[in-house]
Chain A
């Protein structure tokens, strides 16, 4: 798997999981407007993930194998999405920090040298503007420290180690920013400094871009494969399947 397809697959998987987790809050947010925003942002990110998956083939190397139907750990998503969120603070931290971290990486792709990414990902940045406004506004209202620190830690780990693939892609010109620039850009956009994070690069998995083992819960994995929908299908449809 090439460095760039690994990165694009990671952005796609993370956006797919982010979209699903957003959607889970479409009836649980603190106001009707926030419910609707959660649903709309969920749809946006699921759509973005489809565009990103569609970039893998033109990049010449689709790394998705049959294990993605059987093994939840085959997905390249962050630990933050492994379990459904139980607090609004987790939603806001993901919305403000992780969603913006993905946007900053997309910005680096759009301003990099790979044509298919330059063209196909640009529109996402316009749509992500509203995710950013939503996340930053709620962040300013104050949330608990735990999820915020965790989101920052995972964002910085996701950008990659100083001498890893992101740095190599930056050196080649494929990305307009390396790990240090990505972190600085994220801090600039959120108008805040990242908490002190001592990343454990020895335990970093370059394929999944995370330091912790684990995987998404079985129900979410079933939903991704359409198994949850089958549970509610009429008996006649189940026989045909």
Chain B
């Protein structure tokens, strides 16, 4: 997106995916409620809150997807 000679490049090339986790009560574990794409942690937090705030969560957290260490995946032993 370009306006007045300024290139807004916050969406595609340099954006990364963040997983969004939340829970409603202290007794339940955090579980994944969705994901957002953003170029930095601040914007990802703002987007996660705007997108997934429809329920009464007592806790919400975001994690960069590429920071998750996978132990095994579907189909692997």
Contact = CB atoms under 8 A, between A and B. Distances in A.
Interface of A: 30-31, 33-34, 36-37, 39-41, 87-89, 130-131, 133-134, 136-138, 141-144
A163 B4 CA distance: 39
Contact of B10 (A30, A87, A89): A30
Given A36-B51, A137-B43, A88 B10 contact: no
Looking at B1, B36, B49, the one whose CB has the most chain A CB atoms below 10 A away is B49
Interface residues on B, range: 20 to 34
Nearest to B45: A133
* Binding site secondary structure of chain B: mixed
Contacts of B42: 133-134, 136-137
Given A87-B3, A88-B3, A137-B40, A30 B8 contact: yes
Secondary structure call for the A interface: helix
Interface of B: 1, 3-6, 8-11, 36-40, 42-43, 45-47, 49-51, 53
- Can you list the 9 inter-chain pairs with the closest CB atoms, starting with the nearest? A40-B50, A134-B46, A31-B11, A133-B42, A137-B43, A33-B47, A37-B50, A137-B42, A30-B1
A141 B8 contact: yes
Contacts of A39: 50
A40 B40 contact: no
B46 A144 contact: no
Contact of A138 (B10, B36, B37, B49): B10
